[in-house]
Amino acid sequence: DIVLTQSPGTLSLSPGERATLSCRASQSVSSTSLAWYQQKPGQAPRLLIYGASTRATGIPDRFSGSGSGTDFTLTITRLEPEDFAVYYCQHYGSSLWTFGQGTKVEIK
């Protein structure tokens, strides 16, 4: 089974800074099966990126996804106050859906 490992566990940044979040798969995966979600406290997750790099409807262009094989990245170019949240990557394969353990982006 594919294991997704996200790093760092916590990212402490200031508004306006750039955030770079990593998601590493235990073996090579198709980029079309990789998605990213944002979850704010007390809220359900929200789809940000699918297919590793395609923004979901309504997602601002400061969010971008990239990567292939085993290494994927979510980048937030300029952090807005509403971007401080937990971010999860997700993979689908062999009838199984898997999430990474999450990266918390907190205000420094």
Distance, CA of 67 to chain centre: 11
> Of the candidates 103, 105, 31, which has an alpha carbon nearest to the alpha carbon of residue 72?
31
Min dist CB 36 to other proteins, Å, is: 9
Q: Which two structure tokens, joined as six digits, stand for 69? A: 């094989």
Contact at 8 Å (CB) between 92 and 4?
no
The two tokens of residue 67 are 């990567």
Please pick, from the candidates 25, 37, 76, 105, the single residue that binds other proteins as defined by CB under 8 A: 37
Q: Which of 47, 59, 62, 70 binds other proteins (CB under 8 A)?
A: 47
Closest contact distance (angstroms) between CB of 13 and other proteins is 21
Interface residues with other proteins (CB under 8 A)?
32-33, 35, 37, 39, 43-47, 50-51, 54, 56, 88, 90, 92, 95-102
